[in-house]
Amino acid sequence: MRFGIAMSLAVSMLMGAGAPENDAAPTCGTLNGVWRLSSGEADGKALSKSEMKDAKLVIKGDQYRVTLPEMGTFTGTQILDATQAPKTIDITDATGPHKGKTSLGLYEHKGNEFRVVFAPAGEPRPTSFKPQPESGQWMHVWKRVQE
């Protein structure tokens, strides 16, 4: 009996050891760093170059600071859940007009790309990475800044 449990534990550890980093649940450090906005949509329409120019996301653990040139800088916390399919992310702004409100979203992290889509605070989580017109949903694709 003990041998069977030990073997099961050893096999599960070996199987997990070979999994690609981005398929595993992200640790606080996986997304740490500086990110630049490479593309995005809001209400089903592509963001303009001026809306994306100088947009920056800084992540440290579960804390974020996002700067959007036409909206300002906001800080808050994020909770990631990689056990869901698709993976989920919840953000709660600590500053700005949505202070204390939580927006539900989806995320993907592949290499140096971090893609998110969110519903407005109080609305149901999006079901895809394509924001629907007149929904208030927005999608951002962030590229990691190499330091």
**DSSP characters for 44-82?**
TEEPPHHHHTT-EEEEETTEEEEEETTTEEEEEEEEEET
Taking a C-beta distance cutoff of 8 angstroms, is the pair 119, 11 a contact?
A: no
Residue 1 is predicted with a pLDDT of 34
Residue 17 is predicted with a pLDDT of 33
Q: Using one digit for the tens of pLDDT, what is the confidence trace for 95-130?
A: 999 999 999 999 999 999 999 999 999 999 999 999
Domain residue spans in the chain?
26-144
Q: Tell me what percent of the residues of the chain surpass a pLDDT of 70.
A: 80
Residue 146 is predicted with a pLDDT of 82
Q: Using one digit for the tens of pLDDT, what is the confidence trace for 32-66?
A: 999 999 999 999 999 999 999 999 999 999 999 99
Residue 21 is predicted with a pLDDT of 39
d(CA 133, CA 75): 27
pLDDT band for position 85 (50/70/90)? very high
Taking a C-beta distance cutoff of 8 angstroms, is the pair 90, 79 a contact?
A: yes
**Is residue 69 predicted with pLDDT exceeding 50?**
yes
Give the distance from CA 143 to its chain's centroid: 12
Which of the four CATH numbers 2.60.40, 1.10.10, 2.170.130, 2.40.128 does domain 26-144 have?
2.40.128
Before 120, cis peptide (omega within 30)? no
d(CA 13, CA 4): 14
- Report the DSSP pairing between strands 72-81 and 88-93: antiparallel
Note the residue count of the chain: 147
Q: Which of 36, 142, 28, 143 minimizes the C-alpha distance to 82?
A: 28
State the amino acid at position 114 in one-letter form. Answer: F
